[in-house]
Amino acid sequence: MKNFNLIVFFWLILFNIANARDYIEIFNKANQLYNRGDYSRAIEQYQNILNDGFESAEIYFNIANSYYKINKIPETILYYERARKLAPEDEDINYNLKIANLKIVDKFEPVPKFFITEWIDTIRDMYSSNGWAKILIILIWVTFLSLIGFMISWNLIIKRFLFFLAIGAVVLSLSTALFAVQKQINEKNQQSAIIFSPRVDVRSSPDDKSIVLFILHEGTKVELLDSVGEWSKIRISRGDVGWILKNSIEII
């Protein structure tokens, strides 16, 4: 279980003063229901907050925990994934998601990447675009203060240290800005979904008479590539591509 952190609280105060107390009371009530083992009613209370247009990693995480307790694995994975989109660096979210994924039928080896590409992607995915933006702001301030210190300092050793610190901060700022932009593009353009039907035939074309290429089961994560009518084109982690009915998935 996760509680509202200070950032969430101040967000509520700043943007919705009238409802801030109500949201916190609903959240606390949901936590109490969870602790009493009334997981279905806890989910309803968390959903009431989401229905009002407010979301946070904490709420998604707690909903996922509740679904896990009542053994609804597709819903569990869906909400852990939604939580991870907002807080990809959160260890609890990532760990619980791994545990939930152990319960699904489909387990695929991802397509191997060139080691440099995989290393860059791993670093990029450590934070959300907002997380990288916050780091960028800090680095800009470090650069600015280092340059100010360099200009006013009389000590040669300190000036040299501040000069190299500023150079390092500039290099890191450029890298961080690149990661932030790439992450934002991915968050905007790359859509994923979770299979919710117990069994899904993945077909060669958007036609129920086309060839069945392979079968997927509930809880499996897929990447959405295209859409035609009631069909979605998907790709799984090992690289296979096909078409499935839209009503068999839930977008993350």
Tens-binned pLDDT, residue by residue, of the chain (252 aa): 666 544 555 555 555 555 656 778 888 899 999 999 999 999 999 999 898 888 889 999 999 999 999 999 999 999 999 999 888 889 999 999 999 999 999 988 776 767 777 788 788 878 878 888 889 999 999 999 999 998 888 888 998 999 999 999 999 999 999 988 888 887 777 789 999 999 999 999 999 999 999 999 999 999 999 999 999 999 998 889 999 999 999 999
> For residue 46, what are its two tokens?
């968390």
Burial environment of residue 211 by CB neighbours within 10 A (0 to 12, 13 to 18, 19 or more): exposed
Pairing of strands 241-245, 191-195: unpaired
- Secondary structure (H, E, C), the chain: CCCCCHHHHHHHHHHCHHHHHHHHHHHHHHHHHHHCCCHHHHHHHHHHHHHCCCCCHHHHHHHHHHHHHCCCHHHHHHHHHHHHHHCCCCHHHHHHHHHHHCCCCCCCCCCCCCHHHHHHHHHHCCCCHHHHHHHHHHHHHHHHHHHHHHHHCCCHHHHHHHHHHHHHHHHHHHHHHHHHHHHHHHHHHCEEEEECCCEEEEECCCCCCCCEEEEEECCCEEEEEEEECCEEEEECCCCCEEEEEHHHEEEC
Q: Is residue 107 part of a domain?
A: no
C-alpha span between 57 and 3 (Å, rounded): 10
- Pick the last residue of a domain from 101, 124, 148: 101
Structural domain including 30 reads 6-101
Q: Is residue 110 part of a domain?
A: no
Decide if 133 contacts 95 (C-beta within 8 A).
Answer: no
Q: Is residue 108 part of a domain?
A: no
Residues 66 and 132 grouped into a single domain: no
- Pick the last residue of a domain from 170, 189, 208: 189
- Pick the last residue of a domain from 143, 161, 189: 189
Position 4 scores a pLDDT of 52
Query: In the chain, how many domains are there?
Result: 3
Decide if 215 contacts 200 (C-beta within 8 A).
Answer: yes
Burial environment of residue 250 by CB neighbours within 10 A (0 to 12, 13 to 18, 19 or more): middle
Residues 200 and 232 grouped into a single domain: yes
Position 20 scores a pLDDT of 59
**CATH code of the domain covering residue 70:** 1.25.40.10
